Amino acid sequence: ESRIGLYAALTPTWNESAFFADYVLPMGHGSERHDTHSYEQYDGQWVGFRQPVLRAARGGDARECADVYLRSRADAMADVPIVHDEQEVRRWMGDELIGHLDVTVAELDGTIVGLMALDVGPRGGLAWIDQLYLDPAWMGRGLGERFVALARQRHPNGLQLWTFAVNTPAQRFYE
């Protein structure tokens, strides 16, 4: 048992052996496949299929990251105007954020659906979650938790952040 780190079930349908699996890798055809659903594996932990991959941002991601940022801001804080136009946001994303901070994106099928920027600062103190934005379609699906878990893994001494006072969805998430 000490040699086995995890148990993966290769199965066309949900079954009893899959219940005990750490990962369920879907196989099968059409309606037999269960990779379009999520199933609770352990208390509070969901195994979801077709989840975005977290990866380091690249320079070519700036436009899509800016799009996610703009959609997320518009959805969460529709009453708060963005003081910069879309072109300025794209420039800021490409010139000042990506390549200067530790930026991770969530990508699914070649589309960026979330981003997180971490900043350690000049003195190397507690890291800041400088930016964390999700496409509105991905809010409430565990992606933000994955980003925060990654930030905690990278900076185990602690994190700091702030949100706009009117951004109640973000405040609920971080509580």
Intra-chain end-to-end CA distance of the chain, in Å: 38
Whether residue 2 is predicted with pLDDT greater than 60 in this model: the reply is no
Return the closest-CA partner of residue 131 out of 69, 175, 43: 69
What's the mean pLDDT when you consider all of the chain?
77
Please state the separation of Cα 40 from the chain's center in Å: 19
pLDDT (0 to 100) of residue 105: 95
- Please tell me which residue, 43 or 58, carries the higher pLDDT value: 58
- Residue 131: φ, ψ to 5°: -145, 140
- Please tell me which residue, 92 or 51, carries the higher pLDDT value: 92
Tell me the C-alpha distance between 7 and 150, whole Å: 23
Whether residue 67 is predicted with pLDDT greater than 90 in this model: the reply is yes
Contact 104, 115 (CB under 8 A): yes
Please state the separation of Cα 73 from the chain's center in Å: 16
